[in-house]
Amino acid sequence: MMQDLEKLARELRQQGKTEGIRALADSADGQKLGQMIDAGAVEKAIKGGDSAALQQILRGVLSTAEGQRMAENLRKMMGK
């Protein structure tokens, strides 16, 4: 799973999308979501390859208005 994330990061850098993602993270919605998410739980799930836990975290994020706006902005930024 870590290799997949590293590959994704490389692809985003190559496509010049990292600044846009950083701007989303720095936005008011991004800051609010950052406060809601348990970083330790995310790290544990990633390191342990626990995709079910990651899906549960993502569902929690997407159940909020901020998460839905962030997902829509990310979708637009990625051109999908």
Per-residue burial over 11-48, b = 16 or more CB atoms within 10 Å of its CB, e = otherwise: eeeeeeeeebbeebeeeebbeebeeeeeeeeeeebbee
Reading the block at residue 16, the tokens are 């010049």
Residues of the chain below pLDDT 70: 1-3, 5, 80
Range of the domain at 70: 2-77
Q: What is the pLDDT of residues 67-79, one digit of tens each?
A: 999 999 888 888 7
> Which amino acid, residue 43?
E
Query: Max Cα separation, the chain?
Result: 31
Model pTM? 0.72
- Please state the domain count of the chain: 1
Which pLDDT score, from 0 to 100, does residue 19 have? 86
